[in-house]
Amino acid sequence: MKTLTVANYIQNDPAIKPRWAAGTLYSPYLTQTKLFNLILDYKVKINKKIRTTAGKIHYDKCEIHLHEIYFGADAAKWREDFLHTFFHEVSHAIAYHCKGEPGHGPVWQHIFANFGYVPTRCHVNGAAFIEFKDQEVNDIADGLGNMF
């Protein structure tokens, strides 16, 4: 699968584009063109090694890694979680590059809320869908079929 950037997702995903527009319209954090372009150039990658979270950000590489379940055959089932995680990680990128805030502090919370989400961490969601995925694999292995 080709590596896409945040800008690619904004342009090509009808659910992302309006949230991005609404979230960035009044954001004091994206007024600098250089910062704005840096966020747009972040690469979004599938990470098959993620096991306990839905997504992960790598500030030094300007990369967002998302769990593989979002891109598999059942991606439609995980659509809302994908959108939540995408904006969760993009909010991290903005908070970090603008204010040097790497965690879930007040800047991140403000940015994430601007995208229309309640500021929460994704780790619980990630662990939940990992369990579902593992159970699905176990069911198939046991010859019981697909649990969904």
pLDDT digits (tens, 9 = 90+) for 57-79: 999 999 999 999 998 888 999 99
In a domain, 51, yes or no: yes
Residue 146 lies in a domain: no
Tokens of 28: 């004091």
Contact partners, residue 96, CB within 8 Å, separation at least 6? 57, 59, 102
- Specify if 55 maps to a domain: yes
Q: Is the pLDDT of residue 93 over 90?
A: yes
- Is the residue at 147 inside a domain? no
Task: Convert 58-71 to b/e letters by CB count within 10 Å (16 or more is b).
Answer: eeeebbbbbbebbe
Residue 21 in domain: yes
Give the residue numbers spanning the domain of 80.
Answer: 4-141
**Residue 137 covered by a domain:** yes
In a domain, 87, yes or no: yes
Domains in the chain, number: 1
Whether the per-residue pLDDT at 138 is higher than 60: the answer is no
At residue 83, the 3 state secondary structure works out as helix
3-state secondary structure of 50: coil
Task: Specify if 148 maps to a domain.
Answer: no
Confidence of residue 107 (pLDDT cuts 50, 70, 90): very high
User: φ, ψ for residue 146 (rounded to 5)?
Assistant: -85, 125
DSSP 67: E
